[in-house]
Structure 1
Amino acid sequence: MKKVHVILSICMLILLIIFRIFIIQDYNAFDDHFYKQGDHVPLFANKIGPFHNPSESYRYYDLPFCIPDHVKLEENKEDVGEVLNGDRLMSGPYALDFLVDKDSEILCRKKLTKDEVAQFRRAVDKDYYFEMYYDELPIWGLIGRVENREVTEDTKYYNYFLYKHIHFDIHYNRDRVIEITARMDPHSVLDLTEDREVDAEFTYTAKWKGTDILFENRMDKFLQTSLPHIHWFSIINSCVTVLLLTGFLATILMRVLKNDFVKYAHDEEAVNDQEETGWKYIHGDVFRFPKHKSLFAAALGCGAQLFTLTIFIFLMALVGVFYPYNRGALFTALLVIYALTSGVGGYTSTSFYCQLEGTNWVKNLIWTGCLFFGPLALTFCFLNSVAVSYSSTAALPFNTIMLIVLMLTLVTSPLLVLGGIAGKNSRTNFQAPCRTTKYPREIPVLPWYRSTIPQMAMTGFLPFSAIYVELYYIFESVWGQKIYTIYSMLFIVFILLLIVTVFVTVASTYFQLATEDHKWWWRSFLCGGSTGLFIYTYCLYYYARSGMSGFMQTSFFFGYMACICYGFFLMFGTIGFRASLLFVRHIYRSIKCE
């Protein structure tokens, strides 16, 4: 155990150091943003893309926007998390100096060719938006609009207009920038309907206004607009309903168990040759090790690692690390913590594998390293190739990929091996309260609804019903343009999901054992993780109602959601099995088994 504590201490120390370098540094990076009148305030143009396809993003200057003479196209250096987020910041075209008003300032004049007009028209037709950052404050706006022009009853034509003028409202408090908004002038537009050369003059205005909002609170407006009041009512309603159902199920289960204990205690005092029935009848088989125990232990290891990762992410969110538009902080945290928690996966997998009397622990360790990361890496390779073919900013550059590979090689793999060695050296015998017989009993013929798939459907529905309301807002944050900030509510829902998963999996295991079906190991894991399958089914419903379209966005949505739901499957499968194992050990310790 001392070796385990040393490894965990080393992991925590490395985590704190990298966390300090990659995330805390960004969190406090804005504290020195003081300006005097006329000072240059950094403005970066980030990306453009279809409004309903968040993954399909491109560099701002991939569209033929005019570039003023004073602008030097230099790409800003981004950290790993920002690159993973698809950010590619470059010098912005507008000069918005501190406390300097602009009145119809000419940005530039440009003659658009037929190809450039067609390129802008395609972008306007797909509702392209732009994203910029001014003193690290986000700015959004649409680049144009489409108007219907009905010619006949059956035929419609469309007019395409490109916005030429943008107005900036900037709020300041003494020597700091507090807020910025961009408004497009609907009357200053460029008609792109026809394929012809067009002379364009792009202009902008800027108006500075004072405010009492402090610099430390300038992101609060994103917190205030993140959730409607009906969200709280829906969550509370779901929590109360699910807790009542869970409490009802737990009460019934405890009463049935109490009756079983009384019955078996009475049977022990009665005639010994009376035939045993129910879950006591299979006491000699219930602790028989499962098939494919190396794969089973690896799944438990991956689930334990992902659960540890989730807890760390929640702790960081609750202390305010992931404030709105802290670009890349979440992705950086996910990457770093996943790498550092690989030791947890290696230790959990190997120690349990050795308890199951496994001998080839190296093979088990390879299974642990590849079971989740393998499908994730294959999905990433495919989706990154798709993004490269689209010339999208979602495609990771070569140096970022090599950095991730180095982190996996120099951090993840050694910690996985160290965790595996610690798990092997701390080997203990599997604690089974009943002796396992030499030959397994034959499982009786059961109705179809007691088979694996129907049981997974029944046990996965109740946990899913506890979170489906929250899922919509999470999907809107990840795959839409909304912001999710109420992490305390999300943490409560996560705890509720854990409780419900434990109760329904334990109940499912009990009813399985009561029918004298002793193959509960894999069944409890599959039933606990079945919530991930329900979440992926919800993805189909969400996609059908969203405005996402195109091969790239569809591939990214279903590809990465498959990996996320697979991770949920492993994590909650591990939780379900661990709860079932404690339950089975408890009930068989409570009776006398010969």
Structure 2
Amino acid sequence: MEQLQYYAFLVAVMICFAGRVRSDGSDHKYKSGDAVPLYANKVGPFHNPSETYRYFDLPFCLPDHIKEKKEALGEVLNGDRLITAPYELNFLMDKDSEVICKKPLTKEEVTKFRDAVMKDYYFQMYYDDLPIWGFLGKVDKEGKTDPSEYNYNLFKHLHFEIFYNKDRVIEINARTDPNALVDITEDKEVEVEFMYSVKWKETTTPFEKRMEKYSQSSSLPHHLEIHWFSIINSCVTVLLLTGFLATILMRVLKNDFVKYAHDEEAADDQEETGWKYIHGDVFRYPKFQSVLAAAVGSGTQLFTLTIFIFILALVGVFYPYNRGALFTALVVIYALTSGIAGYTASSFYCQLEGTNWVRNLLLTGGLFCGPLFLTFCFLNTVAIAYSATAALPFGTIVVIFLIWALVTSPLLVLGGIAGKNSKAEFQAPCRTTKYPREIPPLPWYRGTLPQMAMAGFLPFSAIYIELYYIFASVWGHRIYTIYSILFIVFIILLIVTAFITVALTYFQLAAEDHEWWWRSFLCGGSTGLFIYGYCLYYYYARSDMSGFMQTSFFFGYMACICYGFFLMLGMVGFRASLFFVRHIYRSIKCE
């Protein structure tokens, strides 16, 4: 298993670096007059990050030679579709208002541009791996309250300001000329003269630091102050919670141990009460043990995947505008860690004296991938209907299928066989009686749903401040780079989840309810439900996303992510409870 994890780490690092947007193998060094690669990427509504289209889906001037850039897996998954742009930005060559083309726009093309300007469309390009953004036009609302009276204007002049240091490109900015406008308010034919200008300026910024400007926004003092406030808030929550629980549990358990020690010295017919009373049932194997084993195995795999992603983030792989690397890493590491899921699920299933380990292995393989696959099929169909770049090409789907068939499935089977042959025993410190005891009637607040609500609220309260920045990065245009803080928050999340689940498990056992197995998993994973509830709040209160496609992508993929959190944190809660239950029952003498 350690060799498999090490191999996964190395391969993920190599593929992540290989998944960068590269300049046709260039070493990024140029001489005066050399052509510097410039690719137009995509256009789309600014507030709908998933709804993007190919750049030339709008009737821009086409270059003389159209060439599509071959993209890595992560770029395709990110919706990137790079194609040569019509601008010539040769190294150190200034240009003053050069015309790209004079294009007569038909009524249909004017309507396309007007709809794009109305929806606040932006464009994105890459120049020597540096991203460029800009808006297509602007809406003139001055002195008008009725949207039907607005004027819609298309920018026709783009000015590039490029900074260089010796023979390397350091920075590029694109500005639209607010005075060079074309009125496209009415449905009539218009002739547009698309132009651009270029100005080169020297800078002392070294090439190695040219990407730092894109991460400065997340490192501003104001944002850092909020991030550290989040950390302090979470740490205080953890300290109070852990101190409170540790004090109560240690005192209560100490009293329990003393009480049970006196009971053993007393008459044998004395009636037992509390959690010791159910020692013959507490290790009775739960219902649907195959599903529980599969959930624990899938949760362990997702936990390992998360740790690897954090390692890559902390060593600097996911620098700004290398987001394709994240998707590549997720696919590759998930495939290579499937053996961990197979081993964990099969081993635990055999410890619970399960016999049909093949079915358990199939269940493990489909527990997370199944819902993810169904969600992808629906959302990819929506993207195809919209002709958006989020629709994966057939070749990419084949590649992902081959990764699943040739890497994920074989490793899952090998891990399952290894887990089945591990011959590990469950190690229950108490013998289980033949017939289960009846669980006494309990008040409503000790039911599963109220307990899940209590278990999920505290971990969620420790992370909710940081959630906004993560959402604004994943579902917006904000850049997130402070992975060290995010990793601390993740560790706090694990600690709080484990402690609150252990506390609720103890109170459940003290009430003589021995069916703690599934309860501990559900309580541990309930934070995922709170995160999905936050999705509703973010979508309607903190974002300007709209439209069927963007709504489908947001709630569809966030459902999969929250489900993954449910499995991962459920595994953490269950493992913590299992450790706790074994410990307290080893500490007493059970007949």
Q: Answer yes or no: same fold by TM over 0.5.
A: yes
Find out whether 1:16 has 2:10 as its counterpart. yes
Equivalence map 1:534-549=2 (5 Å)? 534-545=530-541, 546-549=543-546
RMSD value, Cα: 1.5
3-state SS in 2 of match to 1:183: strand
Aligned to 1:492: 488
3-state SS in 1 of match to 2:590: coil
Aligned to 1:515: 511
Asked whether the 8 Å contact 1:502–1:528 carries over to 2, the reply is yes
Q: Deviations over 1:548-576 (max 9, x none)?
A: 00000000000000000000000000010
Aligned to 1:248: 244
Aligned to 1:109: 102
Find out whether 1:260 has 2:256 as its counterpart. yes
Aligned to 1:591: 588
C-alpha separation in 1, matches of 2:58 and 2:469: 32
Percent same amino acid among aligned pairs? 71
Equivalence map 1:173-322=2 (5 Å)? 173-227=165-219, 228-246=223-241, 247-322=243-318
Equivalence map 1:569-580=2 (5 Å)? 569-580=566-577
Q: Deviations over 1:485-515 (max 9, x none)?
A: 1111110000000000000000010010010
C-alpha separation in 2, matches of 1:180 and 1:150: 35
Question: Which amino acid counterpart does residue 268 of structure 1 have in structure 2?
Answer: E
Asked whether the 8 Å contact 2:347–2:419 carries over to 1, the reply is yes
Deviation at 1:222?
Answer: 1.6
Change (3 A) 1:63 1:351: same
Aligned counterpart in structure 2 of residue 122 of structure 1, from 96, 115, 124: 115
C-alpha separation in 1, matches of 2:323 and 2:447: 47
Asked whether the 8 Å contact 1:108–1:201 carries over to 2, the reply is yes
Alignment size in residue pairs: 584
C-alpha separation in 2, matches of 1:109 and 1:583: 75
C-alpha separation in 2, matches of 1:178 and 1:155: 42
Deviation at 1:234?
Answer: 2.4
Equivalence map 1:555-574=2 (5 Å)? 555-574=552-571
Find out whether 1:84 has 2:64 as its counterpart. no
Asked whether the 8 Å contact 1:226–1:483 carries over to 2, the reply is yes
Change (3 A) 1:389 1:508: same
3-state SS in 2 of match to 1:161: strand
Equivalence map 1:120-519=2 (5 Å)? 120-148=113-141, 150=143, 157-227=149-219, 228-246=223-241, 247-519=243-515
Q: Does 443-452 or 420-429 show the bigger shift?
A: 420-429
C-alpha separation in 2, matches of 1:28 and 1:217: 17
Question: Which amino acid counterpart does residue 171 of structure 1 have in structure 2?
Answer: F
3-state SS in 1 of match to 2:462: helix
Asked whether the 8 Å contact 2:19–2:324 carries over to 1, the reply is no
C-alpha separation in 1, matches of 2:274 and 2:19: 60
3-state SS in 2 of match to 1:146: strand
C-alpha separation in 1, matches of 2:12 and 2:455: 40
Q: Deviations over 1:135-156 (max 9, x none)?
A: 00000011011122556x7786
Deviation at 1:455?
Answer: 0.2
C-alpha separation in 1, matches of 2:296 and 2:386: 38
Q: Deviations over 1:209-265 (max 9, x none)?
A: 111111111111122212423323421332233123312222222222122112212
Question: Which amino acid counterpart does residue 357 of structure 2 have in structure 1?
Answer: W
Deviation at 1:93?
Answer: 1.4
Deviation at 1:47?
Answer: 0.3
Deviation at 1:67?
Answer: 2.2
Question: Which amino acid counterpart does residue 413 of structure 1 have in structure 2?
Answer: S
TM-score (norm 1): 0.96
C-alpha separation in 1, matches of 2:323 and 2:573: 35
Deviation at 1:483?
Answer: 0.6
C-alpha separation in 1, matches of 2:149 and 2:4: 66
3-state SS in 2 of match to 1:372: helix
Q: Does 266-275 or 89-98 show the bigger shift?
A: 266-275
Asked whether the 8 Å contact 2:517–2:574 carries over to 1, the reply is yes
Unaligned 5+ residue runs, structure 2? none
Deviation at 1:272?
Answer: 2.3
Change (3 A) 1:457 1:96: same
Asked whether the 8 Å contact 1:148–1:156 carries over to 2, the reply is no
C-alpha separation in 1, matches of 2:142 and 2:167: 49
C-alpha separation in 1, matches of 2:525 and 2:4: 31
Aligned counterpart in structure 1 of residue 31 of structure 2, from 22, 31, 36: 36
Asked whether the 8 Å contact 2:44–2:123 carries over to 1, the reply is yes
Change (3 A) 1:424 1:264: same
TM-score (norm 2): 0.96
C-alpha separation in 1, matches of 2:286 and 2:588: 23
Deviation at 1:271?
Answer: 2.5
Deviation at 1:10?
Answer: 4.8
3-state SS in 2 of match to 1:445: coil
